[in-house]
Structure 1
Amino acid sequence: MKAIMSKPSIMINKLITLSLIIFLFSCNTEIKQKESENRADTTNIQEITTNEDRKNIIFFGNSLTAGYGVDPSEAFTGRIQRKIDSLGLDYLAINAGVSGETTASGLSRVEWVVKRQPVEIFVLELGGNDGLRGIDPEETEKNLKAIIDKVRIIHPDVEILLAGMMIPPNMGSAYASRFQAVFPRVAEEKNVELIPFLLEDVGGVAKLNLPDGIHPTPEGHKIVSNTVWKFLRPMLQENG
């Protein structure tokens, strides 16, 4: 005897099936999007490590370095390369930025990055995501120091430039002050050059940031590149 299903039951089954299809499609799309983002973050490293004719500058950081939301050529790292080329300097700017990177994840990744090629200058831009997540500044400081130590073990003669960062006082002025103090303290203890604030004249300026209020627009990256260049250019001359 055949089971007879009512029209409401058939409709409910169809809705359940449709919902399942939509759910699976959404999950698959999200996975593919994430994989695409990860590939985008590592493409620059994979492409440019084949060039051994120029001295390497590794920009090791998070989404600010990666150039989140803008064309790679408009990110501050791409602009730095154009400045280098305009002066005929024999350096290659390697964008090793990964969106979402913290100092902890950077510490686990840095050895893989710096072992791939010789490194003359290492620009360390991490810590911002630590601050946004409320990570203990002592942990951030410990990780930054460990990253510097790892780089120096592999490349003893490397020059290091540390990018300082500040955060809004959302988590309290005491936390913001502790966080800001990490970078000059690390720079002094590890004897590395310091950019006091990477986002000088950009952070908090709405028209220079994307709608998220965190990541610079192309015009914002132009200002960031000028800030970095003030500290990087003397290092290039010393190593040129």
Structure 2
Amino acid sequence: MNRDYMRQRTGIARMFGQLAVTLAVGLAVVGATSARAAPPRTVLVMGDSLSAAYGIAPEEGWVALTAARVAQEAPGWRVVNASVSGETTAGGAARIEGELKRNQPEVVVIELGGNDGLRGLPLKQTRANLEKMVSAAKAAGARVLIVGMRMPPNLGKAYTEGFAANFRTVAEAQKVSLLPFFLEPIATDRAAFQPDNIHPVAAAQPKLRDHVWPALAALLK
């Protein structure tokens, strides 16, 4: 082989090598851009005043604290808080279709029912509303976590037991996740509540976040 031929072959090899590097870099850039452009997946929280940070700053509530943890431990997810103070399950059932359409969540957390119990609303009505919300969320392709509540004994044994059973019954029938009692970590600590003895203080919110987190994190995988 003469020198000109060898130089020609070397030049061609170098050209193809540079082209391969350019293509690899280009593909990496495209992949990174696509990853950045991918919209975050959404956790939608449908709750009442316990999730709407009643009486405290919004950023101190358990939902905001959970959103901060999600940002750290589950990149690619975001939390939308659609909770409304005073909301009953009937209100949630009326709103959920709009919230599902607006936010297109992959996970829905339903923390409703407490106001039904405080008002002594019929257990059958509460159960039907919970079923409607869960069914709507599942039909939209979302995974569901029901966050249950319990009522004080002064409402009577039959009502309080039936109330607590509603959440379990719906979760089992619909085959969705259940956290039986939202306030379990602080229920017996009077100092954890505001003067109304219903709404937790800011200092108690991290305990609620930590209580919900294992059940929620399992749905983000």
**How would you bin the TM-score normalised by the shorter chain?**
0.7 to 0.9
**Shift in Å at residue 65 of structure 1?**
1.0
The question of 1:86 aligning with 2:72 is answered yes
Residue in structure 1 matching 2:205, options 215, 221, 228: 221
User: How far apart, in 2, do the equivalents of 1:222 and 1:148 lie?
Assistant: 26
Give CA-to-partner distance per residue, 1:13-34, whole Å, 9 cap, x none: xxxxxxxxxxxxxxxxxxxxxx
Give CA-to-partner distance per residue, 1:78-134, whole Å, 9 cap, x none: 110111122252111111000000011111111111110221100001000000000
Contact in 2 for aligned 1:203/1:214 (Cα 8 Å): no
1:185 alignment partner in structure 2? 169
Residues 1:165 and 1:52: Cα distance change in structure 2 (over 3 Å): farther
Residue in structure 1 matching 2:54, options 68, 73, 88: 68
User: How far apart, in 1, do the equivalents of 2:197 and 2:164 lie?
Assistant: 19
**Shift in Å at residue 236 of structure 1?**
1.1
For these two proteins, the number of residue pairs brought into alignment is 185
Residues 1:124 and 1:195: Cα distance change in structure 2 (over 3 Å): same
Give CA-to-partner distance per residue, 1:166-212, whole Å, 9 cap, x none: 01012112210111111111000011000011111212421111111
**Shift in Å at residue 139 of structure 1?**
0.9
Residue in structure 2 matching 1:152, options 119, 124, 138: 138
Identity %: 36
1:95 alignment partner in structure 2? 81
* Code of the aligned partner of 1:116: R
* Code of the aligned partner of 1:191: K
User: How far apart, in 1, do the equivalents of 2:148 and 2:164 lie?
Assistant: 8
Task: State the secondary structure of the residue aligned to 1:211.
Answer: coil
Give CA-to-partner distance per residue, 1:47-93, whole Å, 9 cap, x none: xxxx9821100000110111111111110101101111222521111
The question of 1:202 aligning with 2:186 is answered yes
The RMSD of aligned alpha carbons is 1.5
Give CA-to-partner distance per residue, 1:121-172, whole Å, 9 cap, x none: 000010000000001111110110011112223x1x2110000110101211
User: How far apart, in 2, do the equivalents of 1:213 and 1:185 lie?
Assistant: 28
User: How far apart, in 2, do the equivalents of 1:88 and 1:186 lie?
Assistant: 28
2:90 alignment partner in structure 1? 104
The question of 1:163 aligning with 2:147 is answered yes
Look at both structures and tell me which one has the larger radius of gyration over its CA atoms: 2
TM-score normalised by L of structure 2 = 0.80
In the alignment, structure 2 segments of 5+ residues that lack a partner are: 1-36
2:122 alignment partner in structure 1? 136
TM-score normalised by L of structure 1 = 0.74
Task: State the secondary structure of the residue aligned to 2:150.
Answer: coil
User: How far apart, in 2, do the equivalents of 1:128 and 1:166 lie?
Assistant: 7
